[in-house]
Amino acid sequence: MIPIRDTYRSHNYPIVNMLIIATNVFLFVVETAQGEMLERFIFTFGLVPARYTVPEISAYFTPAQQFIALFSFMFLHGGFLHLAGNMWSLYIFGDNVEDKLGPIRYLLFYLCCGWVSGLAHLFVNSQSQVPTIGASGAIAGIMGAYLILYPRSKILTLIPIFIIPYFVEIPAFFFLGIWFFLQFLSAMGTSGDAAGIAWWAHIGGFVFGIVLLHVFSKVPEIGMTRQMRQTTARARSPRLHLIKSTETDNTANLYGQITISPLEARTGTRKLVSVPWGRQSKLINVSVPPGITQGALLRLMRLGKLRDDGERGDLYLRVLVES
């Protein structure tokens, strides 16, 4: 299963979330450029529990290096796939949490979740000399907050069946619940530093994200946040739409709806739509003409149900213009 996006649309462009992603990518490039010095680089800026608990090891590091490592570890990654997986998860869940908290509170929330996840790993594996790196703990905190904020949201997930792409919406509470359960099983079944994966950091970040969300939600927004919300308001709806079609007559026609923004209604747009097609789904490009109005119907010929004469009905999409 490959998560594509959540179905809850954020109202503002996630500028801080995208900056965090860009920072992770930039530092990964710096990391890969270390060459023969890579191991020393990881040991210096990664989280090594023994650096804080074994005096013979901590003597090699300055207080500044010890403090910086408690945060720098969450911006380093063990390879491209490690980076890509983390950043994709952050892209999917982070925008909505930032939308709720605002950019300033979101940045502090992200750093706190990553820091506490590191402390959780350090506490459980206090004697480990294996460096731990990655944003997984911080992202786990974001996922925990998302679970509380948007429990009824759904995760649009790609399930490739052989070569056929099949899209399905999985409830967020089920998706994240299974994820947390797997982290807990992994933490209980392996040592904390097995394969360099800090399972307890994931668990600690997730739980702390839930707790910290209630604290941050009580912190009032500052004037800068309100100004940034006005500046970063989204002008477009998501590119991919999953259509839930219904049949309301006996003509084999199907009916669904597509949501666009006021800007897209004025200027026109193109969307990629996943349409139910028997037991499968079919991806089609839908053109929305400029000047379309609220409630207008788009007719997609021969994308309905199969009639007795072998011909197909049509699919009608009602346009919802949502600010």
Contact by Cβ (8 Å): 12, 233: yes
Structure tokens, 190? 């392996």
CA angle 226, 229, 230 (to 5 degrees): 95
Of 213, 71, 88, nearest in space to 139 by CA: 88
CATH class held by domain 240-321 = mainly beta
Dihedral (Cα; 250, 251, 256, 257), 10-degree rounding: -120
End-to-end Cα spacing for the chain: 31
CA 264 – CA 242 distance, rounded (Å): 18
Query: Which DSSP letter does residue 280 get?
Result: E
Write phi, then psi, for 298 (nearest 5 degrees).
-100, 130
- Those residues with Cβ within 8 angstroms of residue 113's Cβ, 6 or more apart along the chain or in another chain: 137, 138, 140, 141, 142, 144, 205, 208, 209, 212
pLDDT of residue 68: 94
CA 237 – CA 254 distance, rounded (Å): 23
Per-residue pLDDT of the chain (323 residues; tens, 9 = 90+): 678 888 777 778 899 999 999 999 999 999 999 989 999 999 999 999 999 999 999 999 999 999 999 999 999 998 999 999 899 999 999 999 999 998 889 999 999 999 998 888 888 888 888 898 989 999 999 999 999 999 888 888 877 776 667 777 888 888 888 888 877 776 666 554 444 567 778 888 899 999 999 898 887 776 677 677 667 766 677 777 777 777 666 678 888 888 888 888 889 998 888 776 666 667 788 899 999 999 999 998 888 887 888 888 888 899 988 86
CA 142 – CA 213 distance, rounded (Å): 9
pTM assigned to the model: 0.74
Domain 2-231 has CATH 3.90.1280.10: no
Domain boundaries, the chain: 2-231, 240-321
